Amino acid sequence: MNEVAELFDGWARSGRAEGMERGHAPAARMALDRLGLRDSSTFLDIGCGNGYVVRWAASAAPLGRAVGIDLSGEMIARARILSTGCPNAEFAAGSFPEIDPPGAPYDAIFSMEVFYYLPDLGAALRRVRELLRPGGSFACVVDYYAENAESHSWPSELGVPMKLLDAAGWADAFRRGGLTVIDQRRLRVRPEEATAAWKAYEGSLMTLGCR
């Protein structure tokens, strides 16, 4: 099995999906707000973990469809258990970009802390473009990026390959994937909400693109 899938299956089994949810939620909320979901929007979260953002999107778009996909079968199992009260949330296990997610095309695609794991970033961003409705948008948030020096030790700590790009590199990759970059910014959380000090002073890097 793929080493990234194995890592996150283990995290899902030991409760770390909910730990990530606590750490990522403040920045994820700011990014989701930028996607402007309406009642009937269709939404995809790539690398959804325990599915917390899919549940937010499902309640923001009660007449729409909110889909979460993840490489880790254990994460998808957690997400399904936690989403039983959410009829318009659905999940599928598989590797992006090879997986064919249900419900395309989407008005909005979201991804938090995932895209640097993808071995072929160019292919992934081209696939995001294909899955978006014309005018739809994609918010990609990463904490592992060149300007955040605190994150540089993560690949050796986690023991899996991760791609280190700076903000300009992410914007460039979006453009090469055929997406128009409409905003890029650091999402900084209030110091009292920050589960690590860098979340307040460096923040998460969000690149927002549209088709």
- Return residues touching ligand SAH (CB under 6 A): 4, 8, 20-21, 24, 28, 47-49, 69-72, 75, 95-96, 112-114, 117-118
Question: How far is CA 44 from its chain centroid?
Answer: 9
Shortest CB 154 distance to ligand SAH, Å: 11
Shortest distance, position 42 Cβ to ligand SAH, whole Å: 18
Judged by CB, which is closer to ligand SAH: 24, or 211? 24
| 44/139 Cα distance (integer angstroms) | 11
Nearer to ligand SAH, 72 or 151 (CB): 72
Residue 83 CB, nearest approach to ligand SAH (Å): 14
DSSP letter string, the chain: --HHHHHHHHHHHTTHHHHHHHHHHHHHHHHHHTT---TT-EEEEET-TT-HHHHHHHHHSTTSEEEEEES-HHHHHHHHHHTTT-TTEEEEE--TTTS--TT-SEEEEEEES-GGG-S-HHHHHHHHHHHEEEEEEEEEEES--TT-GGGTTHHHHHTS------HHHHHHHHHHTTPEEEEEEEEPPPGGG-SSTHHHHT-EEEEEEE-
The residue among 40 and 52 lying less far from ligand SAH, judged by its C-beta, is 52
Comparing CB distances to ligand SAH, the nearer of 40 and 100 is 100
Smallest separation (angstroms) from ligand SAH to the CB of 64: 20
CB of 23 to ligand SAH, least distance (A): 7
Query: Smallest distance, Å, CB 125 to ligand SAH?
Result: 13
36 — alpha (psi -120 to 50), left (phi > 0) or beta? Answer: left
Nearer residue to ligand SAH within complex by CB, 60 or 118:
118
- For ligand SAH, give the closer residue by CB, 4 or 109: 4
